Amino acid sequence: MLEPDGQVYLELFAFSRPSTWFYRAGSPVTVAAQKLVTRRYLAAARKLAEGPAR
């Protein structure tokens, strides 16, 4: 969201649920992978929000 003062806010919601016992068994791995991807996504969003490199 772009605020009148020029600030940008990002709201991100993610939901996941294992579809089968096989994926539930691998839950610790998938949770770790999701956290890693989320951190990378947020880092990229921050870098984009900073604007061009000086």
Which has the closest alpha carbon to 10: 50, 36, 49?
Answer: 49
Establish if 18 belongs to a structural domain.
yes
**pLDDT number for residue 31:** 87
pLDDT of residue 24: 87
Q: Is residue 32 part of a domain?
A: yes
What pLDDT shows up at residue 54?
62
In a domain, 31, yes or no: yes
Task: Count up the domains in the chain and report the number.
Answer: 1
pLDDT mean by block of 10 residues, the chain; 54 residues: 79 81 88 91 86 72
pLDDT at residue 49 in the model:
80
Instruction: Say if 54 falls within a structural domain.
Output: no
The boundaries of the domain holding residue 25 are 1-49
